[in-house]
Structure 1
Amino acid sequence: MSAVILAQNGTNQELTCVSLATGTKCLSASAIPKCKGLVLHDCHAEVLALRGFNYWLLSEVQQILGSQTHQSPYLEFIQGETANTDEENSRLPTGPPLKIKDNISIHFFTTQAPCGDASMEILTESFPSEAATPWPVDDSTATVLQGRGHFSLLGYVRRKPARADAEASLSKSCTDKLAVKQFSSALSFPTDLFIRKTDSAYIQSLVVYADQYHSAGYERAFGQTGRLSKIGSIGHFFNIEPLPVGFPRFAFDRKQRKSDTQSHSKYKASNVSAVWILDKKPDKPDIIEVLINGVKQGYKQLDDKTGKASAVSRRGLWNLALSIGSLVGKDQNGEDLDPVYDNPEWLTVVHHVLSRGTYDEAKSSYVRSSSVNCRSQVTDSLGNWVKNTGDGGWSYS
């Protein structure tokens, strides 16, 4: 289980969980071109929790831009905006109108060490002593993404772990995806079209159980002296905060279930994922979804029904962003609004980008040039990052 928690600084720090998820499955590379934005590629808990957080942020933006009276405890308009002086971006309006308030911090909690490089020592130490020493492997094999194989290769990008006989996936490990977030922020597309990447938009701490923490592995995977040292100067590195030994466990943790029962049954990873997203609007309940194979339970993975799509799927987030872009000068009932901030031109540009062309074209458009360049710099530095492509040629219409 993974969760995104917001803290409001002050004498009595208030914590609010806005998104949480469970899950361990992802799609094979060959399935990606069939998704059309409706099927989640990666249903690991960490990834779903972050996507849920971005959905929650977009919902908060929707309330702010669609109401003259809504006061968000978490987001605010950027005041005193000046013209863009960057020659490359001189044709852009000033940029996203909102930011996460300076007194808000983002914290990420996970009950298991993120799969990938950070968990390799923990995994090795869980083996019987005679199998705990990895055999040497030629570093040249690291040019191909590995799951949990080749334990002696440390510091490399890995794909999601899977059975040896499973069709290969190109979804990167949760360690790798969280490491990139230290540079790209917790905001993903299309949330970053509405909210600025200020210091508050980056994860401040990664919280794990004590037995899911290995200092050398976490520093190598996430730290400034590890594999990210070449580009560390541009990162916003989060703190790693292991909980005290004996801290109460997640009730449905695999280890917890084993200790609570006298049964000798073997517990296996489920193909079912779950997502919960906070919704404070009085007329709407929290979002709760059960997912199987990347779609809502009750639907077939590759049928033609758009209702199968999760709220946090590519198309789900795209649709929500489009509804926000259409609020320029209007409330949610279509009534005229006074300008909610000084430069509405940005939202007009965003709506134009989202409503025309394909998903890939929107994600790589000039309004996101800084985000695209930042991500490329990080993934190039990591060395063996293979893109997972094929689900971006669809359009809204």
Structure 2
Amino acid sequence: MTDLGQRVADAVVTAFGKLNVNSGKPTIRLNGVSEWTVLAGLVAIDGDELTVVSIATGVKALPDEVRSFSNGYMVHDMHAEILCLRLFNRYLMEEVKGDCPRLLLESATANTESVTPMYRLGTREGPEEAGKSDTNAGPEHIKNSESQSETYRLKPSMKLALYISEPPCGDASMSHVATGQTAWEEPAQKRQKVIRGRANFGHLGTVRTKPGRADSKLSLSKLCSDKLCLKQYTGILNCITSLRIEPIFLDFLVLDESKHVDADFGRCFHERMLQKPERPLQALTYRHSNFSFLKHPERTPLPVSLAYIAISNTAHVINNGVKNGANAKKPRANGASPLSRRSLWQQAEGHVPTFASYNKLKQANKERQNLKLKARKLLGSWPQTGEDDFRL
């Protein structure tokens, strides 16, 4: 246990406990069965000061088949730690736009000796500005250039810690999972380089896909261990915020000491990569927690996710990839979560370059894309999910 790890855990759990919402927290069902969930929280550390930025709960991932009709309106991975990072990106765009005081970011435009180089915009395919034909145009050549030319960075004094009430699913928690759950073996003819969830505990250091149950529909969304491992190379910004902000990296994962295994953590985040990242994750642990909704064999998982930006005090509930109460079979704009691809784009529109489609936007940062491809290659195998593209 470390003092910092305990302080981070206490800060997240306390903030979650104070959150007054009508729905989204585990409860006792009418049949008397209690619910459990995974809690995650992103905390900014500046000296002795801790600031809880985002909090999320969740254990679900949507089947890959929904991407065919999502049209950017659905959130596909609702695991708590992944939602936390999406919330973080949404909050950062608030700071970029000047919608709130800049507590985490500072201007990097005038700083020519920045420690971390800004991602560069590569070739822009299909620029949307009328009368412009230069496909190599950078941010200075597009609409609203004044609002898009300034870049930002995380304040140098800041460090970021991600608290998770359970070890991240996948390679970082194989020893813990193996002692508490039932493994299953895929038939020999179906075995692939990528393993689903809890299959084949003996295969370590391998990319795995959600969900963990053998009888669930195929997701192809990678387990959280693999996603967090990849972000040691690319950083935790998304394809939108990375157009205005220098790369930002997690410094710490904060985990329950009783469930943390050093060997698993080291293998997952350090040893299985032939080329070590410049900013490797460090593990911090905590020993005591007042979070009362931990996973337990006699409890059932909470089917929804709570997403909360603590700094701006905004919260919503996600159910089956959309806002709680919205139609997940026919997703529409009014039912989209603020964390959906469309919502994140709409929030940033006018403050980042415009492209023909979301996929073109994702590919705009050539340096970021190259880092992703390189890291995926280092991990061995990275199955592609279905397309969820739409016009911008």
Cα distance change of structure 1 residues 171 and 88 upon mapping to structure 2, 3 Å threshold: closer
1:293-304 paired onto structure 2 within 5 Å? 293-304=320-331
Separation in 2, partners of 1:253, 1:4: 18
Cα distance change of structure 1 residues 142 and 227 upon mapping to structure 2, 3 Å threshold: farther
Q: Given the two structures, how large is their TM-score scaled by the length of structure 2?
A: 0.77
Check whether the contact 1:137–1:153 (CA below 8 A) recurs between aligned residues.
no
1:1-397 paired onto structure 2 within 5 Å? 1-9=39-47, 13-63=48-98, 72-78=102-108, 79-81=110-112, 92=138, 97-126=151-180, 141-197=191-247, 201-223=248-270, 226-228=271-273, 230-232=274-276, 234-244=277-287, 247-255=288-296, 266-280=298-312, 286-323=313-350, 325=351, 350-351=352-353, 354=354, 356-365=355-364, 368-392=365-389, 394-396=390-392
Check whether the contact 2:40–2:57 (CA below 8 A) recurs between aligned residues.
yes
| Amino acid in structure 1 at the alignment position of 2:104 | Y
Matched residue count? 329
Equivalent residue number for residue 330 of structure 1: none
Check whether the contact 2:78–2:305 (CA below 8 A) recurs between aligned residues.
yes
Separation in 2, partners of 1:254, 1:125: 14
Check whether the contact 1:142–1:153 (CA below 8 A) recurs between aligned residues.
no
Check whether the contact 1:3–1:19 (CA below 8 A) recurs between aligned residues.
yes
Larger Rg: 1
Separation in 2, partners of 1:357, 1:163: 38
CA shift for structure 1 position 303: 2.0
Cα distance change of structure 1 residues 101 and 155 upon mapping to structure 2, 3 Å threshold: same
Check whether the contact 2:73–2:331 (CA below 8 A) recurs between aligned residues.
no
Separation in 2, partners of 1:88, 1:273: 36
Check whether the contact 1:75–1:98 (CA below 8 A) recurs between aligned residues.
yes
Q: Which SS does the other structure have where 2:343 is aligned? A: helix
Separation in 2, partners of 1:309, 1:143: 34
Separation in 2, partners of 1:80, 1:18: 26
Equivalent residue number for residue 130 of structure 2: none
Separation in 1, partners of 2:309, 2:66: 27
CA shift for structure 1 position 135: 8.5
| Amino acid in structure 1 at the alignment position of 2:348 | A
Q: Which SS does the other structure have where 1:212 is aligned? A: coil
RMSD: 2.8
Cα distance change of structure 1 residues 93 and 136 upon mapping to structure 2, 3 Å threshold: closer
Moved more, 187-196 or 270-279: 270-279
| Amino acid in structure 2 at the alignment position of 1:270 | L
Q: Which SS does the other structure have where 1:211 is aligned? A: coil
1:336-360 Cα offsets, whole Å, 9 max, x none, are: xxxxxxxxxxxxxx33xx3x31100
Equivalent residue number for residue 336 of structure 1: none
Structure ranking higher in helix proportion: 1
CA shift for structure 1 position 227: 0.7
Q: Which SS does the other structure have where 2:251 is aligned? A: strand
| Amino acid in structure 2 at the alignment position of 1:272 | V
Separation in 1, partners of 2:121, 2:242: 21
Separation in 1, partners of 2:96, 2:260: 35
Cα distance change of structure 1 residues 139 and 240 upon mapping to structure 2, 3 Å threshold: farther
Separation in 2, partners of 1:33, 1:243: 42
Check whether the contact 1:96–1:195 (CA below 8 A) recurs between aligned residues.
no
Equivalent residue number for residue 339 of structure 1: none
Separation in 2, partners of 1:46, 1:267: 21
Check whether the contact 1:145–1:386 (CA below 8 A) recurs between aligned residues.
no
Separation in 2, partners of 1:222, 1:96: 33
CA shift for structure 1 position 235: 3.4
Q: Which SS does the other structure have where 2:73 is aligned? A: coil
| Amino acid in structure 2 at the alignment position of 1:167 | K
Q: Given the two structures, how large is their TM-score scaled by the length of structure 1?
A: 0.76
Gaps in structure 2 of 5+ consecutive residues: 1-38, 124-135, 141-148
Separation in 1, partners of 2:246, 2:177: 38
Q: Which SS does the other structure have where 1:249 is aligned? A: coil
CA shift for structure 1 position 96: 6.2
1:296-349 Cα offsets, whole Å, 9 max, x none, are: 0111103253111111111111111114x1xxxxxxxxxxxxxxxxxxxxxxxx
Gaps in structure 1 of 5+ consecutive residues: 259-265, 281-285, 326-349
